Copies of this chain bind each other. A is one copy, B any other.
Amino acid sequence: MPAPIVFYDIPRKANVPSDNAWSPNTWKTRYSLNIKGLPYRTVWVEYPDIEALYKKLGVESADKGPTGAPIYTLPLIYDPNTKVHVSDSAAIARYLDKTYPDTPTLIPRETDALHAAFQRAFAAVFNPGNGGFSWLMMPETYVRLNPASQGYFRRTREEWFGTTLEELAPRGSQKRQKHWEAVKAAFHEVAGWLQAGGQERLFFLGGETICYADIVNAAFVGWIRNTFGEDSAEWRDVLSWDEGRWGKLAEAFRKYESVDEGSPLEL
């Protein structure tokens, strides 16, 4: 058994550890680790500390913002077995596939390039540029973050979107309804891919095999359920979309949703 991998994740307000995990991007890595059954422990990092963490670890950011300046994002892992840091959930999935070949493969090598295209397509569909998932997500995320993260989150996101968080998708507004319809349309388009060639697939590669594309998908579905709750109007709406396939996907991923207590980052 390898030594536990260190998994840096962003917390939110929570009464129990399992409620701490919320970010769809870091969920991609948590799913990856849980599906592979690799031991890991979570270190919870508040937004303003992410950059300091990278610098302390001496890790370069793989992400660049529109100005060309580096952006410091999670997930990030440290694998003590190889003494390697890896950021970006797709890169982490590939790293884990390569380093732990006896665990379930997430990105089969022959689908590597198609997976890269999938990521581009998924981004294009969920954030078509004039509204959609992110618009809805930002204000919902803000209110659930710990105070230590809220100021940073507000400042950076308001700069990106050029408006206040409160203006993005106010509850009960037509604007919010429009973003929600865009999310529904996005999922519907993904459902179309899953039915390509007349097959009814729950998972991208067909059959029972979960691949990284499914993880991305499940992370977005899971975000809606975890944010609004299983009894919410939003989640009930999602369950009614595309012949109930998103509820089935969420069920299939439930066994990969364990969240350890972890510990807060000490800089």
Contact = CB atoms under 8 A, between A and B. Distances in A.
A206 B112 contact: yes
Interface residues of A, number: 33
A211 to B, nearest CB: 8
Contacts of A120: 121, 124-125, 189, 193
Number of this chain's copies in the assembly equals 2
A52 interface: no
Contacts of A199: 109, 112
A112 to B, nearest CB: 4
Interface in A179-233: 189-190, 192-194, 196-197, 199, 201, 204-207, 213
Interface string A98-130: 000000000101111111111011101100010
A204 B121 contact: no
A144 interface: no
B197 A107 contact: yes
Interface of A: 90, 94, 107, 109-118, 120-122, 124-125, 129, 189-190, 192-194, 196-197, 199, 201, 204-207, 213
Among all A-B residue pairs, the 9 with the closest Cβ atoms: A116-B193, A116-B196, A121-B121, A120-B121, A124-B124, A114-B114, A117-B121, A117-B118, A112-B197
Given A112-B201, A114-B118, A117-B122, 19 more contacts: A94-B196, A109-B197, A111-B114, A111-B205, A112-B196, A112-B197, A113-B193, A113-B205, A113-B206, A114-B193, A114-B204, A115-B196, A117-B117, A117-B193, A118-B118, A120-B121, A120-B124, A120-B193, A124-B124
10 contacts: A109-B199, A111-B111, A113-B193, A113-B196, A114-B114, A114-B115, A114-B117, A114-B205, A117-B117, A117-B213
